[in-house]
Amino acid sequence: MSLTQALNTGLLGLQVSQKGLDLVSRNIANVNTPGYTKKVFNQESLVLNGTGAGVQVTEVTRRVDYGLMQELNRENAQLQEYAVVAEYFERMQSLFGRPGDNNSIAHLIGDLADEIEALALDPNETGQHLATARSAETVSYKLNSMGETLQRLRLEADQAIEDAVRDVNELLHDIHNLNQDIANALSTGKDGTDLLDQREKAVQDLTALMNITTFERNSGELTVFTQGGDILLDQQVKELSHTSLSGISALLTKGGNDITGIRVNNADITDDIKKGKLAALIEMRDSTLTDYQAQLDELAAGLKETVNLVNNRGTSYPNLANQFVGTRTFLDSTTQTISMDADHNTIIALFDSDGTQVAQTDIKALVATLPGPGDLETGETVADVASVLDTWLKANADPGASAAVNADGVLEINLNTTAYGLAFRDENTTAATSTQDDAEMSFDMDGDGTNDTTVNGFSNFFGLNDIYTTAQKDWVWDSDIKSASWSPMTAGTLTFSDNDPDTAHPGAPAPNLGWGSISIAATDTIQDIADKINATGSGLNGVLEAEVVREGDGVRLRLKQLNGYDMAVTQAGGTGLIDALGLEVSNGGLANTLKIKDEIVDNPSLISRGAMIYNSDTTEYSLSPGDNSTANALAEALRATQGFERAGDLPGTTKTLAEFAAMTVSANASEAARNESRLEFQFSLVDTLSLKNAEISAVNLDEELAELIIFEQSYAASARVISTISDMFDILNSIL
């Protein structure tokens, strides 16, 4: 070996030691840098013409296990999901509480039953009327608060989605810029490992937000796709977009296109996002929170119907009720008809302050005075029924008395005197003695001669003695929860009516009654029905909109009158298709708007506690201040089992109101606990994977210090070799 070759070998050794010291320095400096991986290089002997010529350095690489890193990214995305869900459930838990808590909705319903029982024990106690009204109001306030909190959380989730989309776009731009720098480094032979670390960290953060797939090109650039195959990054960034709402309600849904989707290249990719923080936020906004809302709405509907049905059977005596404002809205009282079954009748009586009967009649006798058939069993218009009642009240109560459907479309009765009170009692006419029993009222909503629905109780049908009411109009109708592939197995024509004064409906038989229709086939799915209604040629556009709304593990068909006016959905010639669909006025958001009727808020003594009492000797009726029959019946009804339809994730069931409320609260608590358990396990799993990944990729100071000593000694030895050869060259020069 020549001295020159030995000198070159020493220089190469010196350079390799310098490179090693540089990497050790970089590793130590970045020991706490997030995403930084240990940098290493390999040495190999340099051979020229079969003879060793020193050492050379191969490329600098990152010490990583790519399979482990991908698994860590996936599990971290799952951790982010559970963390988001835990945050929302924690906030729900603070309001929902546990079934046994004193402020839980289940407990408050039990308190209401207790207050009504106390009212039954002492029906003359004025203070107990106020306590009962306040208890009923507390229940509605609790439902309002729970529903409003759910909608507030949905709005926050929607706004958080917009923020997360912004983060996704920023990360995509970061990856794009790093792609260019990495490609440039690789093409020029520069060390791009630190750039790869930064890009890997950006990919990790992006994966925590949403599930993606990546592909690395030969140039070193990374292409990013959605799970569904839409390109997010390839040479240029395709930004995601989502604009959050400024306000939200239970009837605004993603399925109804009320909430904008997450879009890229004008395509909605919301359904492609299955993992990460975004997936959890979408699930909370569009499924979890809406399911709990549906459960609260079903509870509110059951409470409202139960309380109102029983209260309409009674009377508030000794407080004389001389004014009634119904809660059922009629689209056109001159065309819509009602009828009563043959086995029942409704007694209508006036009483003085002593509870003595002043006048008595029955609704069928009054209707019989109408010209023509005058038969309530075959059906009469709502306006005609109100008219005969008006005539009777004027003759027996006061000339200024009135009964008519007012400008708001509800039946309003005013005796125009405080000397008398009015009461109603449904009776079974086939019984041997006078027996209170709800009459079955049939209602033809579109005036086509076919009854469309039935309601128990004459007073209950009109809502004259309701306790609970709502500000919601009947502008939205829902089907039952169906599977996506469900079909009705029966064909029919759906007919639509409304009381929209600003929209002309040419050809309708009466103002806005039966103004539009659509034919449904027996094999149509829910989506098919919605598509038919929304089709351009359906004639329903601009007035009606059909939506397919997700709930639980199924969907509902939702129909909206776009101008917000009351609407009726009927079927021409029958109810088979309507029954199959389970179409009825939507309960959506009912829990948020349920309230005590204004008249009862102003005068709690209007709550019924007694009823009309029949005297078989005199064939007259009377009222007693000590009668507590209705209060007892109401307390019993609140504690009795009743049917609840499938709502959210809860199946159809038969429970008491308190038990169904407890099911909702319990389901919330159970789901929160289950998610917390998942979160703890996932945190432990991610922590284990992170430690394993750190063992491979993270900088270990002990290792670096050991390598530092080695490279230091190697550097010193190479320098000593060079110094010695330099001395030898000096000696050789002096000889020459």
Q: Would you call 22 exposed, middle or buried from its count of C-beta atoms within 10 A (0-12, 13-18, 19+)?
A: middle
Domain-terminating residue out of 588, 619, 644: 588
Q: Is the pLDDT of residue 135 over 70?
A: yes
Residues 6+ positions from 58 with CB-CB distance below 8 Å? 41, 42, 43, 44
Q: Are 277 and 81 in contact (CB under 8 A)?
A: yes
pLDDT digits (tens, 9 = 90+) for 157-209: 999 999 999 999 999 999 999 999 999 988 887 888 889 889 999 999 999 99
pLDDT tier for residue 13 given thresholds of 50, 70 and 90: confident
In a domain, residue 447? The reply is yes
How many Cβ atoms are within 10 Å of 102's Cβ, its own excluded?
8
456's enclosing H/E stretch is strand 453-456
pLDDT tier for residue 54 given thresholds of 50, 70 and 90: low
How many Cβ atoms are within 10 Å of 73's Cβ, its own excluded?
20
Q: Is the pLDDT of residue 65 over 90?
A: no
φ/ψ of 641, rounded to 5, equals -75, 150
Residue-number span of the structural domain to which 614 is assigned: 305-471+593-633
pLDDT tier for residue 100 given thresholds of 50, 70 and 90: confident
Q: Minimum mean pLDDT among 83-87, 98-102, 463-467: which range?
A: 98-102
Q: Is the pLDDT of residue 1 over 60?
A: no
Mean pLDDT of 5-11: 74
pLDDT at 196: 87
pLDDT tier for residue 506 given thresholds of 50, 70 and 90: low
Same domain for 565 and 544: yes
What domain count does the chain have?
A: 3
pLDDT tier for residue 277 given thresholds of 50, 70 and 90: very high
pLDDT at 510: 62
In a domain, residue 168? The reply is no
The span from the CA of 597 to the CA of 147, in Å, is 19
In a domain, residue 212? The reply is no
Structure tokens at 81: 């999901």
pLDDT tier for residue 109 given thresholds of 50, 70 and 90: very high
In a domain, residue 29? The reply is yes
Residue with tokens 């209401």: 112
Beta strand spans in 537-666 (E): 544-551, 554-561, 567-571, 584-585, 594-596, 613-615, 620-622, 642-644, 653-655
pLDDT digits (tens, 9 = 90+) for 640-655: 999 999 999 999 999 9
Q: What is the DSSP letter of 604?
A: G
The span from the CA of 625 to the CA of 360, in Å, is 20
Mean pLDDT of 562-580: 93
Mean pLDDT of 19-36: 79
pLDDT at 508: 60
Quick one: what percent of the chain has pLDDT higher than 70? 96
In a domain, residue 601? The reply is yes
629's enclosing H/E stretch is helix 629-639
Residues 6+ positions from 533 with CB-CB distance below 8 Å? 518, 540, 544, 545, 546, 559
Residues 6+ positions from 337 with CB-CB distance below 8 Å? 379, 380, 381, 382, 443, 444, 447
**12 vs 70 pLDDT, higher one:** 70
The span from the CA of 536 to the CA of 542, in Å, is 10
Structure tokens at 176: 């794009």
Same domain for 349 and 331: yes
Q: What's the whole-number average pLDDT of the chain?
A: 90
In a domain, residue 367? The reply is yes
pLDDT at 237: 94
In a domain, residue 42? The reply is yes
The span from the CA of 75 to the CA of 415, in Å, is 71
pLDDT at 587: 95
Same domain for 354 and 425: yes
Structure tokens at 418: 């405080």
φ/ψ of 558, rounded to 5, equals -120, 130
Q: Minimum mean pLDDT among 105-119, 442-456, 565-579, 716-730: which range?
A: 716-730
The span from the CA of 708 to the CA of 24, in Å, is 6
Asked if the bond preceding 318 is cis, omega within 30° of 0, the reply is: yes
pLDDT at 723: 81
Same domain for 604 and 484: no
pLDDT at 707: 75
| The Cα angle at residue 600 between residues 594 and 606, in degrees rounded to 5 | 135
Same domain for 597 and 448: yes
Q: Are 338 and 379 in contact (CB under 8 A)?
A: yes
Same domain for 428 and 319: yes
Same domain for 437 and 357: yes
The span from the CA of 146 to the CA of 105, in Å, is 9
Q: Is the pLDDT of residue 412 over 60?
A: yes
pLDDT tier for residue 390 given thresholds of 50, 70 and 90: very high
What's 636-665 look like in SS3? HHHHCCEEECCECCECCEEECHHHHHHHHH
Mean pLDDT of 251-270: 92
Same domain for 534 and 618: no
The span from the CA of 147 to the CA of 246, in Å, is 18
In a domain, residue 598? The reply is yes
Q: Are 490 and 522 in contact (CB under 8 A)?
A: yes
Same domain for 422 and 405: yes
Same domain for 454 and 358: yes
pLDDT digits (tens, 9 = 90+) for 599-642: 999 999 999 999 999 998 889 999 998 899 999 999 999 999 99
Structure tokens at 127: 């203070």
| Nearest 10 degrees: Cα torsion 375, 380, 385, 391 | -60
Q: Are 153 and 284 in contact (CB under 8 A)?
A: yes
Structure tokens at 674: 């289950």
Mean pLDDT of 480-486: 95
The span from the CA of 699 to the CA of 30, in Å, is 8
What Rg value do the Cα atoms of the chain yield, rounded? 39
Domain-terminating residue out of 588, 622, 651: 588
pLDDT at 706: 80
731's enclosing H/E stretch is helix 701-735
Domain-terminating residue out of 588, 618, 647: 588
Quick one: what percent of the chain has pLDDT higher than 90? 68
3-class secondary-structure state, position 372: coil
Same domain for 355 and 415: yes
Q: How far is CA 73 from the centre of its chain?
A: 29
pLDDT digits (tens, 9 = 90+) for 338-383: 999 999 999 999 999 999 999 999 999 999 999 888 899 999 999 9
Same domain for 579 and 432: no
